Amino acid sequence: MISSSVSSANGRSLLQRYATMLAGFQADNYVNVALEQRAKLQRLDLLMRNIVEQSFDGIIAFDEKGLLRTTNEAACDLFRGTHDDLVGLHLTALFPDVSTFRPSAHADRGDLEGRGSRLEGWAKRLDASTCPIELALRRVSFDQTHWLIAIVRDITVLKAHEDKLRRLALYDALTMLPNRVLLKDRMAQALNIAKRSGEPVTLAILDLDRFKEVNDTLGHHVGDALLVDVARRLSECMRDGDTVARLGGDEFAILLPRDGKAQSALDVAKRLVETIHQPFSVAGCMALEVGVSIGLAMYPDDAEDASKLMQCADIAMYSAKQRGTAVERYDPAKNSNSIRTLMLSGGLRQAIENNQLFLVFQPKLDLATGHIKSFEVLTRWRHPDLGLIPPDEFIPQAEQSGNIIPFTRWTLEQTVGSMIKWTEEGLDFSLALNLSPRSLHSKEILAYLEELLKQSKLLPSRLTLELTETAVMLDPEGAMAKLKQLHQLGLKLSIDDFGTGYSSLSLLRQLPLDEVKIDKSFVETMMENSQDHVIIDSTIRLAHNLGLEAVAEGVETEAQMETLRDLGCDVIQGFLVAEPFLSQDLATWTEQARWPLKRLDAA
């Protein structure tokens, strides 16, 4: 029994020791876990402190009273002070107008609905200077205390970039005047005020005379310098509140929102004319003299909205240029034809984009072989409002408006495309098209033409470029250089409408030409007018003596054709051979015509 009791006592003692030991182990484990957790929190706290300190944005903690209690180094740098300088300052000392801050343009809905608001405004530094900032605010609770956490970002660079983009969008890059977009905005504001006050508003559109001559003869750098000087003079003539804008090219606009009465506007226009007529000295060049044409339109007499007012001023300006009067006020009775002109001038680029242009082809008959040797390419414009527009009406407008370059590119592309198509169908002939004076002198067109020929892999000799005498004689030396470049590409060159202009025979002898085209005005009367008969005979002889082909235009009768054949004319074109037709009508015309097409298998 004794030994049994002793055993039981020993067992209980042993269990107690085990229990004590286990409790010790558990306590030690709890302590270890706690220590480990504490270490993790310390490391996390250190990490967060490093993140806060390394942040490029200023981070500030304000207490419930709005007093600054702690901040990171970036905030100290932004406000140009130390931590001790900032501690204790009220939020409004750093952000005086915080109540007027507006939502940041860079904030999204999530910023405003859950993570605190992001605002834009101005911060006041300790040295009393200010800077634009973006401010993010959020309230948090910690250790039973409420805090307002502010994240501040200096957006000076961002604002400068935005201002630059805004200026690019609203101001002309060359003259730094308001552009068309800003002008329209100011016109809308001026008209809204005028509707309430009853005061008239005047818009003036100005276009420089002879500016193209400056660009073409002295170079674009001189032209640009001249535009800058013109902009300066116009601005100096205006009052505060008036707007001087550059619409593009050499066209300017002036908005007179106050005292826009007719006589006052005319006085301003006359002052502008006198100012622009004074010689300019730009880019180290001798004194340049340019004129100006000004069109005036008034609200509410001429138009009741901004778009119509600008159109009326444009029409009046065109009228002043046409009449040489310097200044014209809009008059619907005198300017009815100008509306059509403006529609054509401004609509050609849209016509290209909207497929309103199309080509027609007029055959040219080789009198020696009786075969169709080539076709002249002619462009037509089917205007959605004005109907079919003849080229002699819209081509001059294209030259004046600057749309002649995209128009020429389109024509060249379509012409080469037609030649490729017909070559694939086994037809062997060349195409001829007119090249305007401005296109002749355009480096862009020459480069485009060279690349087009390279890509198409067509023989350049199958394309003939026709130029008028006038285009060549406007700048003989420049034309000579350009024609030599075209000739080196392998293109054929022709002088169109020969005899209607003035050309030097010595110059004609030097030009790298392939043919001379006799104008239809001589052909039409050659059977009745002996002088025209002599002119045609002399022109054909001259062409042959210079090694050129002679082509007669406007042939409409058998008698004209036979006479031209007897005189030795090489090629004719006109309604006797065929009226111009569409590309898709070639097969139909071939079946009905008495003159066969030359084919590749018959070459």
Cα(8)–Cα(276) distance, integer angstroms = 126
CA-based nearest residue to 57, from 80, 70, 74? 74
Which of 111, 127, 160 terminates a domain? The answer is 160
144 assigned to some structural domain: yes
Task: Put residue 275 in one of left, alpha, beta given phi > 0 → left and psi -120 to 50 → alpha.
Answer: alpha
* Domain assignment of residue 167, yes or no: no
Residues 511 and 541 in one domain: yes
pLDDT exceeds cutoff 50 at 115: no
Report the pLDDT value the prediction gives residue 560, as an integer from 0 to 100: 95
Domain count along the chain: 4
Please tell me whether residues 47 and 62 are part of one structural domain: no
Q: Which amino acid is at 252?
A: F
Whether residue 186 is contained in a domain is answered as yes
506 or 496: whose pLDDT is higher? Answer: 496
> Does the pLDDT at position 260 exceed 90?
no
49 with 65, same domain?
Answer: no
Picking from 127, 160, 193, the residue at the C-terminal end of a domain is 160
- Which of 32, 53, 74 is at the close of a domain? 53
- Return d(Cα 62, Cα 145) in angstroms, integer: 11
Q: Which has the higher per-residue pLDDT, 473 or 376?
A: 376
| pLDDT the model gives residue 67 | 94
* Least confident stretch, 73-87, 112-126, 561-575: 112-126
Residue 45 clears pLDDT 60, i.e. is over it = no
Element spanning 338, H or E: helix 336-353
Position 47 scores a pLDDT of 54
Pair 140, 240 in one domain:
no
d(CA 480, CA 48): 77
Residue 600 lies in a domain: no
Kindly state the average pLDDT of the residues 403-412.
Answer: 89
At 51, the pLDDT band (50, 70, 90 cuts) reads low
What is the identity of the amino acid at 136?
A
Using the predicted structure, report yes or no on whether residue 95 has a pLDDT greater than 50: yes
Does 261 reside within a domain? yes
CATH label of the domain that carries residue 85: 3.30.450.20
Q: Are residues 308 and 377 in the same domain?
A: no
In a domain, 396, yes or no: yes
Residue closest to 256 by CA, chosen among 270, 272, 268? 268
CA 172, 178, 181: angle at the middle one, nearest 5? 90
The fraction of the chain above a pLDDT of 90, given in percent, is 40
Q: What is the DSSP letter of 597?
A: B
- Would 601 be classed as within a structural domain? no
As a whole number of angstroms, the distance between CA 554 and CA 556 comes to: 6
Q: In Å, how far are 24, 30, 42, 142, 496 from 38, measured between CA atoms?
A: 21, 12, 6, 18, 97
CA atoms within 13 A on the CB side of 267: 8
Predicted pLDDT of residue 4: 46
Tell me what the mean pLDDT of segment 216-225 comes to. Answer: 81
Confidence tier at 349 by pLDDT (50, 70, 90)? confident
* Per-residue pLDDT tens over the stretch 7-27: 555 555 666 666 666 555 555
Do 195 and 290 reside in the same domain of the chain? yes
More confident residue, 434 or 260: 434
- Residue 390 CB contacts under 8 Å (≥ 6 apart), including other chains: 380
Highest mean pLDDT among 282-291, 327-336, 531-540: 531-540
Do 62 and 194 share a structural domain? no
- In the Cβ-directed half-sphere of 514, how many Cα atoms lie within 13 Å? 18
Q: Residues 558-585: what's their mean pLDDT? A: 94
Task: Please determine, for residue 410, whether its predicted confidence score (pLDDT) is greater than 90.
Answer: yes
Instruction: Evaluate if residue 31 carries a pLDDT over 60.
Output: no
Same domain, 176 and 143: no
Looking at the DSSP bridge assignments, the partners of residue 246 are 252
- Which of 108-117, 280-289, 367-376 is least confident? 108-117
Across the chain, what does the average pLDDT equal?
83
- Range 186-212 burial, b when 16+ CB lie within 10 A, else e: bbeebbeebeeeeebbbbbbbbbbebb
At 549, which CATH number?
A: 3.20.20.450
In order, the DSSP letters of 214-261 are HHHHH-HHHHHHHHHHHHHHHHHHSPTT-EEEEEETTEEEEEE-SS--
pLDDT of residue 6: 44
pLDDT at 110: 41
Task: Indicate if the pLDDT at residue 81 is higher than 90.
Answer: yes
Count CA atoms closer than 13 A to 371's CA, side-chain side.
13
Q: Are residues 297 and 247 in the same domain?
A: yes
DSSP 8-state secondary structure symbol assigned to residue 294: E
131 within domain boundaries: yes
* Residue 523 reports pLDDT greater than 50: yes
Mean pLDDT of 520-536: 91
User: Mean pLDDT throughout 210-228?
Assistant: 82
Same domain, 571 and 460: yes
Task: DSSP letter for 370, please.
Answer: -
Write the pLDDT tens digit of every residue in 159-200: 888 888 777 888 998 999 999 999 999 999 999 999 988 889
Does one domain contain both 35 and 73? no
What is the CATH number for 233? 3.30.70.270
Q: Is the pLDDT of residue 274 over 80?
A: yes
The domain in which residue 265 lies consists of: 172-334
pLDDT at residue 25 in the model? 57
- Is 505 a residue whose pLDDT tops 90? no
Q: Tell me the per-residue pLDDT of 289-334, one tens digit each, with 9 for 90 and over.
A: 888 999 999 999 898 899 889 988 988 888 888 778 899 998 877 6
- pLDDT at position 248 is 87
Q: Are residues 121 and 184 in the same domain?
A: no
Higher pLDDT, 499 or 212: 212
Among 186, 177, 154, smallest CA distance to 252 is for 177
